[in-house]
Amino acid sequence: MTWQQWLTQAVTRLRASFSLSAKLDAEILLALVTGATRTKLLAFGESQLINELHVRLEALLVRRERGEPLAYLIGEREFWSLRLRVSPDTMIPRPDTECLVQCALDLLPPSRVEVLDLGTGSGAIALALASERPAWQITGVDRVLGAVVLARDNANSLGLNNVQFYKSDWFKVLQTQRYSLIVSNPPYIKANDPHLTQGDVRFEPRSALVSGKDGLEDLSAICRGAGRHLLSNGWLILEHGCSQGAAVRALLAVVGFTNIATLRDYSNNERVSQGQWLL
């Protein structure tokens, strides 16, 4: 079988499984296994696919047909122009989370400040901030050890030495440390949300997605605990669901945050809320 023959077959199978990016998915998988660029795949489509590679491709193709995210199959995803390793221990970074990164960059000067990223996962937010602000000292924490190990690996691969990662259930290991900025993209999906049975989220860790019956348990816990870890005039920035803006603004207000505002994502949905701690 040639490269082109495999691509044709794979595209047909992926389209039958309702993949919306069948051609791109097939090309990425073939490039991954053969080590060829996508341009070379198209230019040398008559190249023969040896049996060993065919077996590997078939295994990957079956997983993609079942809906497993491409990011998990290839082991990486781009975020903020950074190539990050991902694994089933972590959520897959989404483009809308870049809105949180931009919000953080707009709030504070580039001079040295201490920043905390809660529920860091692959380290996407912390590493994006570290890459843009070399003087910032950033700490990322996650309750899942596999996520912490992955985030550390990503930092090492990117050569970013102004960020560190620890295992912690939210603020638990931070003691009396205070920060100028706390950011988080916590779980915020309702336990019975039908989206949990659709698309990529079927394969992502529930602990990174679901937050009680109303989706607000973790957001509420962070709002209640953040004041003990923020310097005066410090900021808390939270990503949340597109219908949760009003609820998160209320959570921030009831515990004493001021200058509360909500920003919209690339689809014009309320996605990121912020508040300032003045006490």
Using CA atoms in the order 5, 9, 11, 17, what is the torsion angle rounded to 10 degrees?
-170
The amino acid occupying position 192 is N
Give the pLDDT of residue 19. Answer: 73
Mean pLDDT of the chain: 93
Rounded mean pLDDT, 85-101 = 94
Q: What residue spans in the chain does CATH classification 1.10.8.10 cover?
A: 3-67
- Indicate the pTM of the whole model: 0.91
Q: Considering only CA atoms, which of 215, 180, 187, 213 is closest in space to residue 201? A: 187
pLDDT of 21 reads 86
Mean pLDDT over residues 17-37, rounded? 89
Superfamily name with CATH number, domain 85-277: Vaccinia Virus protein VP39 (3.40.50.150)
- Angstrom distance (rounded) from CA 27 to CA 32: 9
| pLDDT of 18 | 77
Predicted pLDDT of residue 184:
98
Q: Among residues of the chain, what percentage have pLDDT more than 90?
A: 79
Q: Average of pLDDT values for 271-278?
A: 96
Mean pLDDT to the nearest integer, 163-180 = 94
Fold of 3-67: Helicase, Ruva Protein; domain 3 (1.10.8)
pLDDT at 239: 97
What does the alpha-carbon distance between residue 25 and residue 10 come to, in Å, rounded to a whole number?
9
Region 223-252: mean pLDDT is: 96
